[in-house]
Structure 1
Amino acid sequence: MRRRYITAILTLTCFSFSGYPQTKKRPNIIIILADDMGYSDIGCFGSEIQTPNLDDLARNGLKMTNFYNASRCCPSRASLLTGLFQHQAGVGDMMNTRPQSAYQGYLNNNCVTIAEALKRAGYNAFMTGKWHVGQAPEHWPLKRGFDRYYGLIDGAASYFGLYPYRPNQKLTIALGDKPVTPGENYYSTNAYTDYAIKFIEESEPSGKPFFLYLAYQAPHWPLHALPEDIARYRGEYKEGWDKLREARFKKMKQLGILDKNCELSPRDKQVSDWESLSQEEKESWEEKMAVYAAMIDRMDQNIGRIKSKLKELGEDQNTVIIFLSDNGGSNESIRGNGFLPDIIEAAKKPASDPASFTSYGFAGANLSNTPFRLFKHWEYEGGTATPFIAWAPSVIKKGNVSSQPAHIIDIMPTCLDLAGAKYPKAYKGNTIKPTEGLSLIPLFNGKEWKGHDALYFEHEGNKAVRHGDWKIVSEFPENKWRLYNLKADRSELVDLSDKHKAKVKELASLYESWAKRAEVIPFEELNSNRGDKFQN
């Protein structure tokens, strides 16, 4: 440890950067990404789920209440890793191979990942967990700047082992650049953390700071949790979704996550009145939610393991941890949609059965996304708003809360700013597109941050623009702009488009200019001549 400290000081004597004082060595950087987790699903953002480790990071760091992702797994991961909008990075939709460069289904050569950029600045770069931005081996993490990798290449899988869930699908868990088969007592959330800790420990003798991208699979379906974790949530959801949404909503206001004037969106139209359910139906949903809560609980436990290891190594005071989710809660169900017959049968089993393969559907997602409406895939707040926590003892003031709008594209420049690294104009002979993000370091330091003039969103024809307190949203295939004032109406309940037509026109013009620059192809045009090969 002492040798690492001396090495860092010697190499940084004349090195300064805005995130840390000149006398400090460069920080380790850890990005933790949850999968399909809703805005209100952790304790410090309103949940009844026990997340003491995340709550502690928030209490001693920064919470951002208007932070946004790209509303879907692949697009968000592409934007996070590159600091570009997903289309610019080659993942304009999902991991589908299409001839259009913005929709090729894997990261292109005109972007760099955070790992590639930080390695040039002398960092070790590690990743564990879900990749999902390139299925072919030539696009795996080690080919995009990471030194070590263990995790799931694909979008979803059993937490207890490896088996496909769609026809003609090959799921891959990899160590480095080789597929591996999980052993006994495998549970993916634990395994990703095991390897993350192993990589951190083995990097110590190098004297280099490290970057770790820990992309948990949890709590994406299938609902799989360990019995001891499920037991803590038995009976927690017996009051039903309506009362639980109200309880979360009340807590969110008490915590300052929501403004006092915010209203709770109505129960989703796809969700029945709780009291109209049979006892069997109620018990089935209660069990699903107990398993879902247990998955997040176990993720939090593993984040605690990471914190403990940093403290053991004497690196806790010199590490930055960023936590967020890749999209809102998912309403997706396990029926039809190309699932294998045995998977559809497994979806009928109780969620606590390790052989099950199920999801929590509209009702669970409606609770997860409290107080918002709609879900993953759409560009309403329910699809794009994420809880965001940043913790850095040497930089961030305790208990800081920011309501300024920011976006997942901002993580790349923030990491470079922390590391004193430069964003490259060229890499491996390829011209690199300029980053779209802005460093969050001024917010970390409690200073004024100008922020973005506007934030933009598009996924499979759903689109939005946020400009100050105003937001326009369009839902595919309706393709009609609706207008909301988020300061007065964060839950997007009152459409003001007829009342403020000039504002709609102004923001729609911003969208068209951005869409052209960001290489967005209208979804109806993209689908009229697909020419793609579905991969996941």
Structure 2
Amino acid sequence: MMKKIFYTLVVVVSAFQLSVAQKKKPNIIIILADDMGYSDIGCFGSDVQTPNLDEMASKGLKMANFYNASRCCPSRASLLTGLYAHQAGVGDMVNARPYPAYQGYLNKTSVTIAEVLQKNGYNTIMGGKWHVGQNKENWPLQRGFDKYFGLIDGANSYFENRPYRPNQKLTIALGNEEFTPGANYYSTDAYTDYALRFIEETKNNNKPFFLYLAYQAPHWPLHALPEDIKKYKGKFARGWEVLREQRYKKQVQLGVIDPKIKLSPMDKDLRKWDSLTSKEKEAWDEKMAVYYAMIDRMDQNIGKVRKKVKELGEEDNTIFMFLSDNGGSNETITNTGYTEEIRAANFKPASDPTSFTAYGVEGANVSNTPFRYFKHWEYEGGTATPFIAYGPGLVKSGQLSKQPAHIIDLMATCLDLAGAVYPKTYKGNTITPTEGISLVPLFQQKKWKGHEALYFEHEGNRAVRQGEWKLVSEYPQNKWELYNLNEDRTELHNLAEKNPNKVNELEKLYLKWADRAGVIPFEKLDKKRAQDKFN
């Protein structure tokens, strides 16, 4: 009898071990929006139609204190490598400088999520904006992706390949070859369609897939399709002050903003809505209608990805993560950095496909509700992003987390999900240890240790967050400000003078990190930039 029980147990244990060994690795999808503010999707305060993202948020995890690196290139470098941007070689955009932290493309002492997952049995697919290396030797297929379609550069027309600065060449690529868009091209649709085609092409090789879908939307120029614009025309006549108030109230209702946190005032340089002429109001209404339409179309395409996953029978074995690369942008297309043709196109109606315009400080104030400042700065308006994780079999439903986390965490999260190990070496190079921490415990509603501190630097703008405290400064003033984010997330009450010890404590943390990460004070980079131009 005992012998029979023993053999039964052996069979059961062996079957369990086989089940574990044969358990499928999950498909992993990271979706990145471009220049989209904290409040720009429905589940974070907007009234734009984002039913897919809203459903994913309600049936998954929302994180209300998630951070990016405040600008396109640095955020993409951090997402892909799990390092702070300087450690990956992209300390200041794709500008090539004679410093390791500022070479302008991903370095060889970093490794991408795609490179690690490719070595661990994954199909690795990318659609969309790359912007971390413009020379072909630094393109996606050279950094671990099996298949790629998208924009190598930072911004472009959504309808055609259209350079916007003097002596500029922009590249849309399919794999390692340049691609010329044809009729009926719209980049948001094209990025998705190619990504789904790639998934379809690899579905029979019995490998899971990693998809990095880096949308260009809703980065300027404001370009959308007529059927999407039509949904929103005429909805913004109440003006930006009212829109911000409405979003703020919805954010409090949703729980992403605590009721004790006050709505920040509008930017000091912004005019009152009632002071605008009828023509000016109509022009802004059109800009916002197009901007909303861009986000709407992005959500529609996310729906296409969800549908494909379901058709493949992989819904319970796929995880989605969604975020934005920086806050809303106050940039305008009126200065001498753009071609004469593009400056002229800035004044065309936003719904005209040949226009080339941005929504400026007015739209950015709305997008970044309830925060101050914008893309480029290290205040919450520049660095805070909505974050959603969704996967019926992998993420517990209905969660809202307010623990601080960062875009550097996505590398560790993906490797944890895939059962992969972050390498010490890759292709003969010693790899910088990852800075991120896996978010998987949060997905499973377990305790998560979080970070001792989070760090930020971009073009002289600096910050460090530790727990409830945040130390931040703006370049070139370089004067530290201190905020208690639990009480004042909108950074309205500077406590630096009242708490000099806390300022000193956090400054020491920041300086130690800056030295370790290779940060160079921006005034020194400015001098080098001037020398480069002179030479």
TM-score (norm 2): 0.96
Q: Cα deviation per residue 1:163-215 (whole Å; 9 max; x = unaligned)?
A: 10000100000000000100110000000000011011111111000000000
CA pair 379-315 structure 1, distance change in 2 beyond 3 A: same
CA distance in 1, matches of 2:526, 2:143: 29
Deviation at 1:271, TM superposition (A): 1.1
1:102-113 aligned within 5 A: 102-113=101-112
SS at match of 2:400: strand
- 2:357 maps to 358
CA pair 123-532 structure 1, distance change in 2 beyond 3 A: farther
CA pair 57-517 structure 1, distance change in 2 beyond 3 A: same
- One-letter amino acid of the counterpart of residue 384, structure 2: A
Deviation at 1:14, TM superposition (A): 5.9
CA distance in 2, matches of 1:15, 1:255: 44
SS at match of 1:507: helix
Q: Cα deviation per residue 1:430-470 (whole Å; 9 max; x = unaligned)?
A: 00000000000110110010100100000000000001000
Residue 125, structure 1, aligned to residue 124, structure 2: yes
1:81-160 aligned within 5 A: 81-160=80-159
Conserved in 2, the CA contact under 8 Å of 1:482 and 1:497? yes
- One-letter amino acid of the counterpart of residue 172, structure 1: T
Deviation at 1:129, TM superposition (A): 0.2
Residue 193, structure 1, aligned to residue 192, structure 2: yes
CA pair 172-14 structure 1, distance change in 2 beyond 3 A: farther
CA distance in 2, matches of 1:131, 1:31: 13
Conserved in 1, the CA contact under 8 Å of 2:317 and 2:394? no
Conserved in 2, the CA contact under 8 Å of 1:287 and 1:352? yes
- 2:280 maps to 281
- 2:216 maps to 217
- One-letter amino acid of the counterpart of residue 514, structure 1: W
- One-letter amino acid of the counterpart of residue 393, structure 1: P
Percent of aligned pairs with the same amino acid: 68
CA distance in 2, matches of 1:387, 1:34: 10
Residue 439, structure 1, aligned to residue 435, structure 2: no
CA pair 214-207 structure 1, distance change in 2 beyond 3 A: same
Deviation at 1:24, TM superposition (A): 3.2
1:332-351 aligned within 5 A: 332-351=331-350
SS at match of 2:393: coil
- One-letter amino acid of the counterpart of residue 514, structure 2: A
- One-letter amino acid of the counterpart of residue 362, structure 2: A
CA distance in 1, matches of 2:235, 2:141: 42
CA distance in 2, matches of 1:215, 1:473: 29
1:459-474 aligned within 5 A: 459-474=458-473
Conserved in 2, the CA contact under 8 Å of 1:65 and 1:387? yes
Residue 55, structure 1, aligned to residue 54, structure 2: yes
CA pair 138-276 structure 1, distance change in 2 beyond 3 A: same
SS at match of 1:88: coil
SS at match of 2:529: coil
CA distance in 1, matches of 2:49, 2:379: 27
Conserved in 1, the CA contact under 8 Å of 2:318 and 2:394? no
CA distance in 2, matches of 1:15, 1:408: 35
1:450-461 aligned within 5 A: 450-461=449-460
CA distance in 2, matches of 1:479, 1:396: 41
TM-score (norm 1): 0.95
- 2:72 maps to 73
Deviation at 1:395, TM superposition (A): 2.0
CA pair 322-532 structure 1, distance change in 2 beyond 3 A: farther
Deviation at 1:397, TM superposition (A): 1.2
- One-letter amino acid of the counterpart of residue 408, structure 1: I
Larger Rg: 2
- One-letter amino acid of the counterpart of residue 182, structure 2: G
- 2:4 maps to none
Conserved in 2, the CA contact under 8 Å of 1:65 and 1:401? yes
1:24-63 aligned within 5 A: 24-63=23-62
- One-letter amino acid of the counterpart of residue 176, structure 1: G
CA distance in 2, matches of 1:308, 1:355: 32
Residue 477, structure 1, aligned to residue 476, structure 2: yes
Conserved in 1, the CA contact under 8 Å of 2:316 and 2:394? no
- 1:329 maps to 328
Deviation at 1:15, TM superposition (A): 8.9
Deviation at 1:533, TM superposition (A): 7.0
Deviation at 1:527, TM superposition (A): 1.4
CA distance in 1, matches of 2:366, 2:100: 37
Deviation at 1:316, TM superposition (A): 1.2
- 1:529 maps to 528
CA distance in 2, matches of 1:259, 1:114: 34
CA distance in 2, matches of 1:532, 1:301: 47
Q: Cα deviation per residue 1:359-394 (whole Å; 9 max; x = unaligned)?
A: 000000000000000000000000000000000111
SS at match of 1:89: coil
Residue 430, structure 1, aligned to residue 429, structure 2: yes
- One-letter amino acid of the counterpart of residue 155, structure 1: G
SS at match of 1:56: helix
CA distance in 2, matches of 1:99, 1:456: 23
Deviation at 1:530, TM superposition (A): 2.6
Tell me the C-alpha RMSD between the 2 structures: 1.4
SS at match of 2:150: strand
Q: Cα deviation per residue 1:451-494 (whole Å; 9 max; x = unaligned)?
A: 00100000000000001000010000000000000000010000
Q: Cα deviation per residue 1:288-347 (whole Å; 9 max; x = unaligned)?
A: 000000000000000000000111111111101000000000000001141000000000
Conserved in 2, the CA contact under 8 Å of 1:323 and 1:389? yes
Conserved in 2, the CA contact under 8 Å of 1:96 and 1:533? no
CA distance in 1, matches of 2:228, 2:155: 21
Q: Cα deviation per residue 1:408-446 (whole Å; 9 max; x = unaligned)?
A: 000000000000000000000000000000000110110
- 2:242 maps to 243
Worse-matched range after superposition: 344-353 or 330-339: 330-339
Conserved in 1, the CA contact under 8 Å of 2:151 and 2:172? yes
Which stretches in structure 1 are left out of the alignment for 5+ residues?
1-11
Equivalenced residue count is: 519
CA distance in 1, matches of 2:254, 2:441: 23
CA distance in 1, matches of 2:69, 2:269: 24
CA pair 23-403 structure 1, distance change in 2 beyond 3 A: farther
CA distance in 2, matches of 1:377, 1:14: 50
Deviation at 1:528, TM superposition (A): 1.3
SS at match of 1:366: helix
CA distance in 2, matches of 1:101, 1:483: 31
Conserved in 2, the CA contact under 8 Å of 1:37 and 1:368? yes
CA pair 337-32 structure 1, distance change in 2 beyond 3 A: farther
- 1:505 maps to 504
